[in-house]
Amino acid sequence: MNDKNRIVELFNIDYPLIQAGMIWCSGWRLASAVSNAGGLGIIGSGSMYPEVLDEHIVKCKNATNKPFAVNLPMLYPDIDKHIKTIIKHKVPIVFTSAGNPKTWTSHLQSHNIIVVHVVSSLKFALKSQDAGVDVIVAEGFEAGGHNGRDETTTFCLIPQVAREIKIPLIAAGGIGTGRGMLAAMNLGADGVQIGSRFVASEESSAHQNFKEEVVLSGEGDTLLTLKELTPVRLLRNDFFNLIQKAYQRGDGKEELKNILGRGRAKKGMFEGDLKEGELEIGQISGLINSIKPASKILEEIIKEYRQAIKESNSIKFNF
């Protein structure tokens, strides 16, 4: 049996720990800090105009010699421009999400780019494998931000996907600690993708107000909503209450679209409007109690992961 970790080998990194691409939160500072610490940093391009992505890739390359990736939500309006920028700068790895993996995978791979596709169900995992992607991220509905409609949790999703696919698998959703990482690997994942924990990092481009709100939030403070548009997990706030009232009135898709308006995510996460903005974060925020440098977060997760492996052999499992 080959005992080398497939994700570490393929991405050429030290730990199979990937920082999620998150709109308004993961610019070049966070991505380079995570890559420098031995994980894989990702620039979230969904919130970046084409020239902003170009700038962030250049800055990321100047800040690290290690591999990093770009997350590309396929709903992005100027996707062709982002693809050209990624190819021009020879970004080694791309994480595609929210769309059909058939559209861009072979084009990116023909430029020697490793393609990872994010899914939230077994059905889309199998489709992605058929489309020829190199790696799959399976994300449970504990995750923050855009989310699956089926509400499958990471605990149920990972073993079912691991059983059916042959290519490497990264688990996401609800993971923010070393113990969580070990649990996901025990369920069959080759690595983990962690988002929320890195929102509350010093290098995240999230507004300080949002970072502090994540630290203050507890169990039960996030909910999945707007399933009729694009399902999204958010912190409860005035904006969330507006949506709840709309549901109580029986409002339809058009009214919901009007309430959402444009640029809510920027308002909340980047400009720090905690009342009117969209605050995308995962359920694991209840376990996040501090804002730290990304390298420290990564170091602590790996330390706890190793400690948890040792403890797994302890007496408490001897029954």
Nearer to ligand NDP, 205 or 285 (CB): 205
The nearest distance, CB 11 to ligand NDP, in angstroms, is 19
Question: Shortest Cβ contact with ligand NDP: which residue?
Answer: 46
Nearer to ligand NDP, 15 or 270 (CB): 270
- Is residue 139 classed as helix, strand or coil in its secondary structure? strand
The nearest distance, CB 288 to ligand NDP, in angstroms, is 18
The nearest distance, CB 232 to ligand NDP, in angstroms, is 7
Nearer to ligand NDP, 44 or 168 (CB): 44
Nearer to ligand NDP, 168 or 282 (CB): 282
| Residue positions counted in the chain | 319
Alpha helices in the chain (DSSP H): 6-11, 28-36, 50-63, 79-88, 105-109, 122-130, 154-164, 178-186, 196-199, 208-216, 238-249, 253-260, 264-265, 294-312
- Is residue 95 classed as helix, strand or coil in its secondary structure? strand
The nearest distance, CB 144 to ligand NDP, in angstroms, is 8
Nearer to ligand NDP, 95 or 305 (CB): 95
In 3D, which of 30, 87, 20 has the Cα closest to residue 54? 87
What DSSP state is assigned to residue 148? Answer: -
The nearest distance, CB 264 to ligand NDP, in angstroms, is 6
Nearer to ligand NDP, 69 or 185 (CB): 69
Number of CB atoms found within 10 A of residue 131's CB:
18
The nearest distance, CB 59 to ligand NDP, in angstroms, is 6
Asked if residues 144 and 282 have their Cβ atoms less than 8 Å apart, the reply is yes
Sites of contact with ligand NDP (CB under 6 A): 21, 23-24, 27, 29, 44, 46-49, 52, 55, 59, 71, 73, 75-78, 97-98, 145-146, 205, 262-266, 270-271
In 3D, which of 1, 11, 35, 309 has the Cα closest to residue 168? 11
